[in-house]
Structure 1
Amino acid sequence: MTLDDQLRAAVASGDAAGVAAALAAGADPDALVDRERWGVLLESARAGRADLVTLLLEAGATVGGVGRYGATPLRVAAGAGHAGVVRLLVAAGASAAEPDRRQSVLGHVISEVAFQPARALLDTLDVLLELGANTGPREDPPVVAAVRASAPPAVLRILFDRGADPDQRRADGTPALVLAARLGDHAAVDLLVRAGADVDATDPRGRSALMHAVERNHRAAAAVLLLAGADRSLAAPDGTTALRLAQAWHWQNIQFALGERSVGSHDVPVARTLLRLHPGELRLEADPVQFELLASVVEAVVDGLGDDWELRSGHTGAAALAFAARLRSDQVPVPRASWHTVTASRDEVAVAWSALNESANGDTRLRAAGVSVWDVRDLAEDFFGQIPH
């Protein structure tokens, strides 16, 4: 058995004395394991063995990624919730060794906490923030990332305790509070306003968090905003107000919450930002502009992926394009209302889901000319949130 084999065996068994002996005898602290996919430092970090990590770092192990996949010990330790190992690696310069092309370690941990809540991950998030970690220049800022991931409230509390700005905005200028309201995340809305977020901050269209909560019938989020002093009379540049949106969508309970004493089925023309899905009836409701946006997304994705579209979605390109055409041609005005409706089969709803997912989250980022990534992401998040899980 070579010295490197001895080191690999000692790391695998968690034998600190064996690791120290192999390194003292000349074993390579960057020895690779598991068919050369990663190094012994990463293996020790994955196991949360701060003692082994210390021995390997003192022997000169590379803190960045080594091996075929370039995974880094810091990312692996952070994602596994090993806060003590994270401290050691950051002190050894691991943060600077992280590749720019990948999601930041902080962003990775925020996503992991949202996906698989664990106290150890929360503690690791706190340590990363204490050590000055931030998200990357091409990522959402931390508060926005937490809101978009629907992270547990404890994540936002830690971010604010560590000095994060509750008025952080997405790259297009949309405030975190607006994003939380769109998602109907009333806990996030409450934490944001308690942390000092501007309750009347608006998105690039001049629409406030209250307007978006009202339009989506998120009554709990709207109530939090109203109790926080949101201006219910605030108007966007196009004249849209929260009340007009509630009237336009026939949300009667929210109309009462906004101070109306009598309500009815008003035919109120207003520019909507919501494409509404009725899962039980398989019906889509929206303004023509939302139907056009969805149709253009479907066409761009099908055209961009070619034969891969059917492999990735399970639906033929011809069926998807026929649905896109129907979104334009089969819109029916709703009686005593100002929105339009299009019926959709289960397969067509699945086509919409696949196309939006590919355009908003896929590697290709396929979009029609003139359609921004923010338009697609907002449409996708609204749509996904209405599909029963």
Structure 2
Amino acid sequence: MASEISRLCTVHALPNKHDRPIYLDRERDGIVDGTMMRSLLPVMVLGALLMSTFSGFGSSGTPSPLDRQLIAAAEQGDPDGVRRALGKGASIDARDSRQRTALMAAVQSNHVAAAKALIEAGADVNAKDEINDSPYLLAGARGYLEILNLTLAHGADLKSTNRYGGTALIPAAERGHVETVRTLIAAGVDVDHVNKLGWTALLEAIILGDGGRRHVEIVRLLLDAGASADLADRDGVTPLQHARRRGYHEIEQLLTAAGAR
């Protein structure tokens, strides 16, 4: 239990001279600001306690040896092993102690062939693990474009959100995954969705981006897709103000051209 609490609650402060503290969690799939961290901490600890209590139990109890074989094959990127385990009767959406399905295990290491074998066999691309990630959300957040396209072709829930209330588009924009952002916009993900921090994909690309070529292009893509150039964060700071504070001149020009104030 202690290790679960440590994994969930230990954070790293990011340098950010213009704003209140921002933290990146150890799973590196989300961010939390200082104010939200204090409010989320009791919930995170309770979640760790529950995970400790129910660890090892999936949707249908403890995974069978065949289910464990399937998850191991997926984790190792072995599509033939995946097919063998399924052929012997393994449950395709069985869960391990971290509530990962075999597909999630494959996605975490970007094992495209194993993921494809599972998805084509009917694996649930929206199945959430213990930290509220799904194969679709994780592929988007990490820029695993081949797997992302597979999930989109097999029923990905575009409105689903991670534990920070963000769609797949928001972390993709933050991390500079240009083609992933382009793909998610084309798929129809809401470009103005606001996460629990009060940030849109546009805000996160500016606040947590580096102002470089990739983030400039992402801002361009978001604005071209109709993202609001004036939708401020919960403190009333607009995308344009954030860009100016950071000296991101190209982004500032894009926002100004889009009518930002």
CA distance in 1, matches of 2:173, 2:109: 20
Cα separation, partners in 2 of 1:140 and 1:132, compared to 1, 3 Å: same
What do residues 52-78 of structure 1 show as CA deviations (whole Å, max 9, x unaligned)?
A: 222212333222234433321122222
Cα separation, partners in 2 of 1:197 and 1:137, compared to 1, 3 Å: same
Residue segments in structure 2 that go unaligned for 5+ positions in a row: 1-63
1:43 alignment partner in structure 2: 105
- SS of the aligned residue for 1:30 comes to coil
Which of 106, 117, 125 matches 2:169?
A: 106
2:77 alignment partner in structure 1: 14
Letter matched to residue 107 of structure 1: I
1:148 alignment partner in structure 2: 207
- Deviation for aligned residue 1:85: 0.4
2:116 alignment partner in structure 1: 54
Letter matched to residue 156 of structure 1: V
Which of 252, 257, 260 matches 1:189?
A: 252
Letter matched to residue 193 of structure 2: G
Which of 186, 192, 203 matches 1:130?
A: 186
- Deviation for aligned residue 1:141: 3.6
CA distance in 2, matches of 1:24, 1:53: 16
- Deviation for aligned residue 1:174: 5.7
Letter matched to residue 65 of structure 2: T
- Deviation for aligned residue 1:32: 2.2
Larger Rg: 1 or 2? 1
CA distance in 2, matches of 1:146, 1:12: 31
- Give the root-mean-square deviation of aligned CA atoms: 2.8
Residue segments in structure 1 that go unaligned for 5+ positions in a row: 114-120, 203-389
- Deviation for aligned residue 1:87: 0.8
CA distance in 2, matches of 1:142, 1:176: 10
CA distance in 2, matches of 1:20, 1:107: 34
CA distance in 1, matches of 2:227, 2:244: 14
1:168 alignment partner in structure 2: 229
Aligned length in residues: 190
What do residues 358-383 of structure 1 show as CA deviations (whole Å, max 9, x unaligned)?
A: xxxxxxxxxxxxxxxxxxxxxxxxxx
CA distance in 1, matches of 2:192, 2:109: 25
